[in-house]
Amino acid sequence: VGDRGSASLRTAFTAELRRILRRARFDLVVRRGTVGLFYGLLPGLAAALCAGTFTLPFPVLLVAACSAAAGLAAGAAAGLLARMDPQAVLVSGDRLLATRELSSTALELSARAAPGRFADAVIEDAASLLRTTASRRFLGRLRLPLAPFIPLVAALTAAALIFPIDLRLFFARSERERELVDIGESLQKQGQALENDSRASNLGRSLALSQELAQLGRELATGKLTLDEALDRMSELEGRLAQEYQLALQEWRAISPPSDYSEGQDSTAPDSSPPGSGNAQPGDSNGVQNGNSSQDLKGLGDALKKLREDRRRLSESRNQDAGKPGSTAQGPPGISKPGAGTSAPESGSDSHSGTGSGSAGRGKPGGHPGEGDESGMNAGSQAGTAPAPVKRGDPTAISRGSGGPSLKADGSTGEGEMARLLARSLPDLSGSKLPDATVLDQYARQAESALARDEVSQKLREYVKGYFTNIGMPASNTKN
């Protein structure tokens, strides 16, 4: 009878223990899941901290939600897979419940062959304890891992106090915002690359501009600029870059013998096929020997080209958003189509490559007025003018052939080559509305007048003459 009583006591104890373990498993899954959720929030917090400084590929809320979900799932899985030792559960429960090792001793006694005089009483008491105690009490109170959060929350709070947080960073970006971010990132990289080159070559002139370019990119990437602001800033910077580019180009030409850049390609002058983008690569076998100058020129040319492309992208994007598809305007006034104009950074690589044909300045076949052809001609006609104001006009005005700042061929003549080249690098199309045939003669006259000056070398005169010949001017008009 005693043995049967002991056996029934042990059976009852074991049944209660199994029940407790089942519930404890559930509790463990919930607890580990909760802990995992908290840990999963850490990347979200970190992303919130970084969002104002760095460009994130995803919105902060998405990062937080995904990482929290991942943490929850991982924690729950860990709870499911964790080995649940009955002895450990009961030891923990005894400690938490202050039952003085009653249940853990009972577990041990229930497995003994000769448990001793007090075994049955202990097992019975333990079974009663298990029956009347909630399973979660055996696992103790849930302690959330708050330690990693305290410094992060403090840092987030401090950052929010010092730098007001842009709440837009927490939400998904629109298509345009994403495009802005992409462009901003690429500009930032370009600016940084240029800055590095400038530092490496000790080129103070390019350094400031490169830093501004990187800053513009950073602001774009972090969503601090609207589209309009971005376009304004880009236009302004583009103008200054172009100016710097032309200065660098002049410098390069001044210190490089003409034979260095004209050898074997008479029709591809440095200004129409600029170093770094055309055949006359400074530093290559046919290029100039002055490394710093050519490096400066190449970097500026690349940056300018990139900036111009990006601005065109943005402008097109804005036009599309404004519901004006099909506009023939290729961008805001002042932006020439890539490869279409003689504008320095863009012209050489496509249209001049190795040909020496002097086709620079030609637009695409059938190109719209206001594209490269005219900007190229503007370049010739604008010699000596001050840099054209960089201003975004109404793109529709271009398609209508009216409006926008005028850069027509009636510009004043002759204050030096720099201004002429500057105008070529700032092709403002807002005034290019006349067919080329109507202005070519005027351009030719102005070019002749400019070339008649003493300081213009014979070689340059020949080059200009060849240029106008190539674009279809009558020979009589180009005779010097």
Using CB under 8 A as the binding rule, whether residue 441 contacts another protein is answered as no
Q: How far is the CB of 5 from another protein (least distance, A)?
A: 11
How far from 216 is each of 175, 196, 283, 415, 427, CA to CA, in Å? 20, 16, 30, 33, 22
d(CA 165, CA 163): 6
Using CB under 8 A as the binding rule, whether residue 8 contacts another protein is answered as no
| Complex with another protein: residue 93 or 427, whichever CB lies closer | 93
| Complex with another protein: residue 96 or 456, whichever CB lies closer | 96
Q: Of the ranges 82-90, 248-256, 334-342, 366-374, which one interacts with another protein (CB under 8 A)?
A: 82-90
Q: How far is the CB of 56 from another protein (least distance, A)?
A: 42
Give exposure, 155-189, as e/b (b: 16+ Cβ within 10 Å): ebeebeeeeebeeebbeebeeebebbbebbbbbbe
Q: How far is the CB of 122 from another protein (least distance, A)?
A: 5
| Complex with another protein: residue 125 or 177, whichever CB lies closer | 125
**Window 115-134: residues binding another protein (CB under 8 A):** 115-122, 125
| Complex with another protein: residue 109 or 440, whichever CB lies closer | 109
**Residue of 54, 69, 85, 453 interacting with another protein (CB under 8 A):** 85
Q: How far is the CB of 9 from another protein (least distance, A)?
A: 12
Using CB under 8 A as the binding rule, whether residue 259 contacts another protein is answered as no
| Complex with another protein: residue 89 or 213, whichever CB lies closer | 89
From the list 203, 228, 297, the residue with the least C-alpha distance to 256 is 297
Q: Of the ranges 104-112, 261-269, 304-312, 356-364, which one interacts with another protein (CB under 8 A)?
A: 104-112
Burial class (CB in 10 A: 0-12, 13-18, 19+), 143: exposed
| Complex with another protein: residue 87 or 406, whichever CB lies closer | 87
**Residue of 50, 62, 108, 387 interacting with another protein (CB under 8 A):** 108
**Residue of 105, 235, 336, 385 interacting with another protein (CB under 8 A):** 105
| Complex with another protein: residue 54 or 118, whichever CB lies closer | 118
Using CB under 8 A as the binding rule, whether residue 91 contacts another protein is answered as yes
Using CB under 8 A as the binding rule, whether residue 92 contacts another protein is answered as yes
Contacts with another protein by CB under 8 A lie at 85, 87-88, 90-92, 94-95, 100-102, 104-106, 108-109, 115-122, 125
